[in-house]
Amino acid sequence: MSTLVKIKIDEKEYEVPRGRYLLAICQENGIPIPTLCHHESVEPWGGCRLCVVEFRKKRWDSWWTELATACLYPAEDGLCVWTRSEKVMKARRTILDLLLARCPGSEVITKIAAEHGVYQTSFAKREGEDNCILCGLCTRVCDRVGARAIATALRGALKEVSTPFGEPPPDCLGCLSCAHVCPTHTIGHTEADGKRTVWGRTFELVRCSGCGAASVTREQVEYAVRTKNLSPEYFVKCDACKRRESAATFAGLLFDERKGGEGPVGPTGSGPSHE
């Protein structure tokens, strides 16, 4: 991986690690590439196809030029890439046109489409009110978290993101990672009176013993305790309160030192003191 190779992007030369994905290289070098299904916390996917670039390379005995998704294309020596060629822009426009037909109500899609000169769809609009573009980020992030509570169901035009059998998902932690990564903000969730609802299931939130704020669900706490080897005590107070206490502890220690006391006893372990 550490071997450097020379590649050309939009006629400009770059020296990059072999095997590094083109999208990452472009992002590092300030070359704008649109994408809707990519997120740094999960493996590249190649579903939305918006990040297509045109490339030319030698395979077997002849030169090829075709489109490839930047998110999945590894850099190799002598690779030549164009990120805004006519072919690329035409493909991106058609893809956005198709997405706009799927989600005519999505502000995000409407905005990106307009940036590419697509102001309304030329295709038949889908009936239905959700803005899901099936980018798969929610299900992949859910897998990454380890809950695996949601997945895609069916295929083709009927494909959808679903909980098992369409019922409130038994394995959901209510962590809202899915909602946070959703590029079209289409995963609905509510929070009120110490309760959070997502995917048709209501979760009880754990209140901080210090400030009373509610930020994590009981399922999240139990999951973290079970899988991350944390003490249940860890979740008694919220992060903000823990920080506040740590700060106070440090201030106290400094104060003690100046007074020349018995010497500081640093905080032990990862959990802050609850004294």
Partner 1 sequence: MQRLTSPDALEKLRAELAGKRQAIKKTVFVCCGPGCLANGSRKIADAIGLQMEKQKVDASVGYRRCTTGCHGFCEQGPLVIVQPGDIFYCKVKPSDAATIVERTVKGDELVERLLYLDPGTKQRCKAFTEIPFYAKQTRVALARIGTLDPTDLGNAIASGGYASLAKALFTMKPDQVIDLVDRSGLRGKGGGGFLTGRKWRSCVKAPGDRRYVICNGDEGDPGAFMDRATMEGDPHCVIEGMIIGAYAVGSHEGYVYVREEYPLAVEYMQLGVDEARKAGLLGDNILGSDFSFDIKISRGGGAFVCGESSALMRSVEGKVGEPRAKYIHSVERGLWDQPTVLNNVETWATVPVIVQKGVDWFRSMGTKGSPGTKAFSLSGQVRNTGLIEVPMGVTLREVIFGIGGGLFKRRTFKAVQTGGPSGGCLPEDKLDLAVDFDELTRAGSMMGSGGMIVMDDRACMVDVARYFTAFLVDESCGKCVPCREGTKQLLALLTDITHGNATEDHLARIEALAATIMQASLCALGKSAPNPVLSTLKQFRQEYLSHIEKKRCPAGVCKPLTRFVIDEETCTGCGLCLKACPVDAIRGEKKKPHTIEPSKCITCAACREVCPVDAVEVAS
Is residue 43 a contact partner of residue 140, using CB atoms and an 8 Å limit? yes
Q: How far is CA 107 from CA 110, 116, 186, in A?
A: 5, 14, 11
Size of the site for partner 1 (CB under 8 A): 37
Complex with partner 1: residue 44 or 272, whichever CB lies closer: 44
Q: Tokens at residue 81, please?
A: 């890439």
Please report how close the Cβ of residue 36 comes to partner 1 at its closest, in angstroms: 9
Q: Does residue 58 interact with partner 1 by CB under 8 A?
A: no
Backbone angles phi, psi at 63, to 5 degrees: -85, 140
Please report how close the Cβ of residue 134 comes to partner 1 at its closest, in angstroms: 6
- Residue from 108, 151, 214, 241 that binds partner 1 (CB under 8 A)? 151
- Residue from 98, 224, 230, 241 that binds partner 1 (CB under 8 A)? 98
Backbone angles phi, psi at 156, to 5 degrees: 55, -140
- Class of residue 79 by CB neighbours under 10 A (exposed 0-12, middle 13-18, buried 19+): buried
Q: Does residue 99 interact with partner 1 by CB under 8 A?
A: yes
Complex with partner 1: residue 95 or 172, whichever CB lies closer: 95
| Whole-angstrom distance, CA of residue 246 vs CA of residue 275 | 11
Q: Does residue 68 interact with partner 1 by CB under 8 A?
A: yes
Helix (H) or strand (E) run with residue 106 in it: none
| Whole-angstrom distance, CA of residue 20 vs CA of residue 24 | 7
Q: Does residue 133 interact with partner 1 by CB under 8 A?
A: yes
- Judged by CB under 8 A, the stretch of 156-164, 192-200, 207-215, 239-247 that binds partner 1 is 156-164
Please report how close the Cβ of residue 46 comes to partner 1 at its closest, in angstroms: 5
Complex with partner 1: residue 42 or 230, whichever CB lies closer: 42
| Whole-angstrom distance, CA of residue 222 vs CA of residue 220 | 5
- Class of residue 35 by CB neighbours under 10 A (exposed 0-12, middle 13-18, buried 19+): buried
- Judged by CB under 8 A, the stretch of 4-12, 66-74, 166-174, 188-196 that binds partner 1 is 66-74
Q: Which residues of 134-150 are buried (b: 16+ CB within 10 A; e: fewer)?
A: bbbbbbbbbbebebebb
Complex with partner 1: residue 95 or 221, whichever CB lies closer: 95
- Residue from 29, 41, 120, 152 that binds partner 1 (CB under 8 A)? 152
- Judged by CB under 8 A, the stretch of 42-50, 185-193, 214-222, 240-248 that binds partner 1 is 42-50
Give the binding site for partner 1 (CB under 8 A).
Answer: 45-50, 52, 66-69, 72-74, 87, 90-91, 94-95, 98-99, 101-102, 122-124, 133-134, 136, 151-152, 154-159
